[in-house]
Amino acid sequence: MRTILYARYSSDLQNAQSTADQLATLRERAEKDGWEVVATFSDDEISGRAGIGEMQRPGLNAMLARVERGDIDQVLAEATDRIARHGGDAHAVREHLEYHGARLFTLADGVVDEITGAIKGLMDARYLKDLADRVRRGQRGQHGRGFNAGGRAYGYRVVKPIGADGEIIRGILEIDEEQAEIVRRIYAESLAGVSAYAIVKRLNAEGIPSPRGGPWRVSTLHGDRVRANGILRNHLYRGVMIYNRTHRVYHHKTRRRVVRSNPPGEWRYVDVPHLRIIDDASWEAIERKYTTFDGVTADKQRRPKRLLSGLGKCGLCGANWIVLGVSRWGCSNVKSRGDCTNTRTISTNEYERRVLGQLQAIMLDTQAVEHFIQRYNAGMARKLAEAETSCAPLQRKIEECKARANRLVDAIADGAGEFQEVKDRLRSTREELATLQDKLDALSTGSTLTQSPDLGSRYRAYVMTLDAALASDGPARAQAIAAIRSLIDALVLIPKDQGRGVDIRLEGRMAEIINLANRVPDTC
């Protein structure tokens, strides 16, 4: 009987000798029964549900092509799961062999006919699903005990201590201080206003390897918003390990695994404070930056090229004050439409010098700062007093929503989860609860400002730091520019009443300026 031998093993974690061992066993059987071995085919490190196409299973596809000559009596394999772990594929292979006059014979089952093939095909396919369920169950258990059940994040290393039973304890991470310092640096520079592109460019220039060992990319920092990965989104850096963010499915045509995101409500969290790299303040500040993102993608978002770009407004028509030449600034309407009479211009050096001078004067005017603090605190006191009367009703509604959600969860646990309307009510209740909680948080948000006793000396030190950073180059200058821009609300430029030139009125963000007193002077 003219016979083709076929062997396969599925994972690079298995023994690479598996194929050779299978073929050796098949040859022994062929010799024992006097079968003539015409050819042998194999697939190494390929899943049994990868498909039967040329690019999916080259060995199997070549075997089917060889059978098409019509001179083969049977294909010999160790078991049906070596042929396929997908019911449709198993049937297609068997149908192909029968059409060309060959049969499928396995050491485990003998001749595989329609009934045996259908039953074994179902069992082989089910095995993978059961195996996946067991793996996920084990991973959930590991995660619940604070062990790592997924890949290793940047900033950590895997350790494998020996347990009391002499076995290796798996899933334990510890902080890699060298990489953790890079993580802290990325967070600090991002909070200081340095763009992700500038951070990545500098890391690559310094030859620091990325998490994958190659060059850094902007996407390495931002990651995916839905999956909450990337350096600036990974919850593990704040000491919280997440499991079940994604699940994998096989594409019905390509048979490749596709990663899909699970709803955040299905994520599992566990605190791992020993793995914390970033403090809560830095994490929350980064979260606020992402929350206030207006949806403009990085490739369409233009960062200011100059210190005062986008801050100036014409005092007559309200148009933007822009660069008109190499080093002159003026009203954009004068250039584009000619319908504004403010034809005055100012040089870049003079513009920046006068604005920085006014900013310094505001910061060093302690009397003006004291007056603002008094007015701000009086307004905040009124807001907090009004909030007290509104908080109680909201708190009652929140408690009612929580009780309703608990009843729905209990109903699902008792079997009502089969009804979609119960799940929909739970989802809407949770959404209502989140909305009420946001309203309550908004009412209670706010605090009074305090004036530092050494306000003047702190501001003077900060101003000196800004001046030094602006005179430098690289990240320090970029951070200084971002800090200065954060203190300016608007610049209004109007023609002088007498003589040439313009007057500049700086409208500063006083609350932000005052908060500088609580910062370290050399934050730039």
SS3 readout for 245-261 = CEEEEECCCCCCEEEEE
Residues 6+ apart with CB under 8 A from 194: 475, 478, 479, 482
Q: Reply yes or no on whether the pLDDT at 5 is more than 70.
A: yes
Answer whether 199's CB lies under 8 Å from 117's CB: no
Nearest to 285 by CA among 153, 156, 193, 182: 193
The string of pLDDT tens digits covering residues 94-119 is 999 999 999 999 998 899 988 888 88
pLDDT tens figures, 239-284: 988 888 777 776 666 667 777 878 877 888 888 889 999 999 899 8
Summarised one tens digit per residue, pLDDT across range 335-386 is: 777 778 899 999 999 998 898 888 878 776 666 666 666 666 676 676 666 6
- Nearest residue to 66 via CA among 140, 22, 6: 6
337: number of Cβ within 10 Å: 11
- Give the three-class secondary structure for 315: coil
Q: 2-132 has which fold?
A: Rossmann fold (3.40.50)
Provide the token pair at 100.
């060309």
Same fold: 2-132 with 156-291: no
Interatomic CA distance for residues 393 and 439, integer angstroms: 11
pLDDT of res. 37: 94
Report the pLDDT value the prediction gives residue 299, as an integer from 0 to 100: 45
> What does each C-alpha distance from 350 to 223, 355, 465 come to in angstroms?
42, 9, 21
Q: Residue 499's pLDDT band (boundaries 50, 70, 90)?
A: confident
For residue 329, what pLDDT is reported?
A: 92
Angle between helices 114-144 and 87-99 (to 10 degrees): 150
Ordered by start, the domain boundaries in the chain are 2-132, 156-291, 312-365+453-518, 386-444
The dihedral over CA atoms of 381, 383, 388, 390, expressed in degrees to the nearest 10, equals 170
Q: Over the stretch 198-215, which tens digit does the pLDDT of each residue have?
A: 899 889 999 999 998 889
* pLDDT value of position 302: 54
Residue 452's nearest CA partner among 371, 381, 370 is 370
Mean pLDDT of 391-415: 77
Residue 447 pLDDT level (bands cut at 50, 70, 90): low
pLDDT for residue 27? 92
Side-chain half-sphere exposure of 305, counting CA atoms within 13 A: 5
Question: In this predicted structure, which of 101-105, 156-160, 175-179, 246-250 has the lowest mean pLDDT?
Answer: 246-250
> How confident is residue 456, by pLDDT bands cut at 50, 70 and 90?
low
Encode pLDDT of 379-396 as tens digits: 667 666 666 666 777 778
Amino acid letter for position 158: V
Q: Which helix (H) or strand (E) holds 243?
A: strand 240-243
Alpha-carbon gap, residue 283 to 141, rounded angstroms: 27
In whole angstroms, what is the distance from residue 106 CA to residue 397 CA?
66
pLDDT digits (tens, 9 = 90+) for 311-324: 999 999 999 999 98
| Long-range pairs for 475-481: beta carbons < 8 A, 24 or more residues apart | 475/189, 475/194, 475/198, 475/199, 475/202, 476/524, 478/192, 478/193, 478/194, 478/195, 478/198, 479/189, 479/192, 479/193, 479/194, 479/524, 480/524, 481/193, 481/304, 481/307
Mean pLDDT of 158-186: 85
Q: Taking Cα atoms as reference points, which of 449, 454, 452 lies closest to residue 511? A: 449
Confidence (pTM): 0.49
CA neighbor of 255 nearest in space, from 21, 10, 481, 514 = 10
- Give buried/exposed letters for 474-510 (b at 16+ CB in 10 A, else e): ebbbbbbbbbbeebbeebbbebeeeeeebebebebeb
Q: Which CATH class is domain 156-291?
A: alpha beta
Q: Say how far apart CA 479 and CA 485 lie, in whole Å.
A: 10
